[in-house]
Structure 1
Amino acid sequence: MTIQTRLMELQDYDDVYKLWMSCEGMGLNNLDDSREGISRFLQRNPDTCFVATNSDTKLIGVIMAGSDGRRGYIYHTSVHPNSQKMGIGKILVNEALKSLQQNGINKVALVVFEKNESGNQFWEKLGFPIRYDLVYRNKAIAEMIRIDT
């Protein structure tokens, strides 16, 4: 199978959303992960989000990454269940890390749900250890609906 990567575009949204919904362990919400929310994210991070396609140009992987100018963050990395364990996720991570580094970012963080065993194994294998010295906190400032797969 030939794998191609390219920058993610808003036109990819419908296929990306379908991909997210096919992947167990994804945590989405109706605001940030809506077409409008993803549009804002891509406008702020035009060169750090990537998709992977197969030889039929079907979208089979996605990674969204961005930065605040100081730290990089990785969000919603997923590969279609039928295409996992083929190195596609690693290719996408490397593309995002390279782009973040070209933007002057030296450290990257991400959040994985504790119950997402395969996701945690993937990140551990790629050299992203668990930080036991941090407490993750967040607060919703707008009402949102969680969408868990």
Structure 2
Amino acid sequence: MIREMTIDDYEEVYTLWKKIKGFGLRSIDDSREGVDRFLKRNPTSSVVAEEDGKIVGSILCGHDGRRGCFYHVCVDKDYRRRGIGKNMVVFAMEALRREKINKVSLIAFTKNDVGNAFWNTIGWTQRLDLNYYDFTLNKENITAFNEQ
């Protein structure tokens, strides 16, 4: 079952994120308070997948009024290759369409072979015509990568 994510899902979703090898988690943005702030700003577009009585997938999805963005797209390793990821993507994209958003982007780490293969398989286009830049406003928002 795919449904909207709420803050009540946080502990189970965070536990899932911690299980994903190579997953990068930020100390502030991915805290309960950070996710709560994100969900309040984007109340209908983030999703979770439930199976066997537990959350097995998630997408944080939001928009700025012009473009949607996916963050932390993941499916538990034991539940992959069953359409869960694609179904979550479709659910989130439909939520964005209802809000009149016409384009969605995401960032996948170059070393994330599983994720990059997934996006290519379901028809997303890797952009080679632009550079991605960011600037850290809060140096305490540290990213740690799961080693599992």
Fold equivalence (TM over 0.5): yes
Is 1:41 matched up with 2:41? no
What value does the CA root-mean-square deviation take over the aligned residues? Answer: 0.8
Which TM-score applies when normalising by structure 2?
0.95
Say whether residues 1:59 and 2:83 are aligned partners.
no
Task: Tell me which stretches of 4 or more aligned residues in structure 1 moved more than 2 Å.
Answer: none
**2:99 partner letter:** N
Distance across 1 between alignment mates of 2:106 and 2:142: 21
Give unmatched runs, 5+ long, in structure 2.
none
Helix, strand or coil at the partner of 1:59: strand
Q: 5 Å matches for 1:1-149?
A: 4-54=1-51, 56-143=52-139, 144-149=141-146
Structure 2 counterpart SS, 1:52 = strand
| Matched residue SS, 1:17 | helix
Give me the whole-angstrom Cα distance separating, in 1, the residues matched to 2:49 and 2:7. Answer: 15
Kindly state the Cα deviation for residue 25 of structure 1 after the two structures are TM-superposed.
Answer: 2.6
Q: 1:6, CA displacement in angstroms? A: 1.2
- Aligned-residue sequence identity (percent) comes to 43
More displaced, 90-99 or 56-65?
56-65
TM-score (norm 1): 0.95
Matches of 2:128 and 2:89, distance apart in 1:
23
In structure 1, how many angstroms separate the alpha carbons of the residues matched to 2:99 and 2:7? 21
Quick one: distance in 2 between partners of 1:146 and 1:44?
22
**What CA distance in whole angstroms lies between the structure 2 residues aligned with 1:85 and 1:60?**
12
Within 1, Cα distance between the matches of 2:22 and 2:134?
Answer: 19
Between the aligned partners of 1:25 and 1:88, the Cα distance in structure 2 is 20
Q: Give the secondary structure class of the aligned counterpart of 2:57.
A: strand
Stretch deviating more after TM superposition (66-75 or 18-27): 18-27
How many pairs align? 145
1: distance between equivalents of 2:135 and 2:127?
A: 21
Shift in Å, 1:128: 1.2
What CA distance in whole angstroms lies between the structure 1 residues aligned with 2:92 and 2:72? 12
Unaligned runs of at least 5 residues, structure 1: none
